Amino acid sequence: MNLKKLLILGAGMLLIALFFRFDLGRFLTLEALKENRQALADFHDRHTVLTVAGFMAVYILQTALSLPGAAILSLAAGAVFGAALGTTYAVIAATVGATLAFLITRYLLRDMVIARFGPKLEGLNRELDVRGFNYLLFLRLVPLFPFFLINLAAGLTRLPLRTFVTGTMIGIIPGGFVYCNAGASLATVTSLKGIASPRVLGSCALLGLFALVPAIYGRFTSKKGS
């Protein structure tokens, strides 16, 4: 690993260490958001562009470094910017952050992980090579897989960057809107678990299954033709 890669990796590790050293996660709680919502809204009224830029920068860093707090940041986006604009800012920032995590894994950590887990990735590589977009879209829509794990796992495959970005951006819109819409009515939110109701989870799962239809059909027809 060359010096440039070592510096980038070291900077990332330093930021993660500082996050936990200063317990910055205490600001990424539902209680903290409710306490500071009015102050954030007032600051946004006075400094709109700075607030948007600052929010997106924080969200990008949180996602790129796989830190906790994405749900709270999405709620904050809805609370400060409204459901529509909040979803737009949150989805863009999350996509950029996920892409950075994807690239870091691919170009900084890839050799290390492949050397140890290479054979185990062949099946995933094969699925993503043949049905990359639909498979990734399914993973993003079905809320059974942690967001950060998908970023890291995809970086170890041969999935094209363009496919990763497109699949991620489209796939996180429904979930992002659910949280931002809830954030727009923050006073009614009593817990994070209450936001993702069984109906919401079921709808996302159904969308995920629809995303897999082309992949299932392709596998069926290939077997039938062989």
Nearest alpha carbon to residue 95 among 87, 85, 106: 87
Residue 99 in contact with residue 169, Cβ under 8 Å?
Answer: no
Helix (H, G, I), strand (E, B) or coil at 35: helix
**What per-residue confidence (pLDDT) applies to 173?**
93
pLDDT at 135: 84
Q: What is the pLDDT of residue 149?
A: 85
Domain count, the chain: 1
pLDDT (average), residues 104-108 = 88
Higher model confidence: residue 71 or residue 152? 71
- Reported as a single tens digit per residue, the pLDDT across 39-60 is 999 999 999 999 999 999 999 9
The residue range of the domain holding 119 is: 3-225
Mean pLDDT of 131-142: 84
Token pair for 92: 């863009």
Range with lowest mean pLDDT among 56-60, 86-90, 210-214? 210-214
In this prediction, residue 138 carries a pLDDT of 86
pTM of structure: 0.86
Helix (H, G, I), strand (E, B) or coil at 193: coil
How many angstroms separate the CA atoms of 134 and 51, rounded?
A: 35
Alpha-carbon distance 127 to 116, whole Å? 20
Task: Please spell the DSSP secondary structure of 46-70, one letter per residue.
Answer: H-HHHHHHHHHHHHHHHHHTT-S-H
Nearby residues of 16 by Cβ (< 8 Å), 6 or more positions away: 65, 67
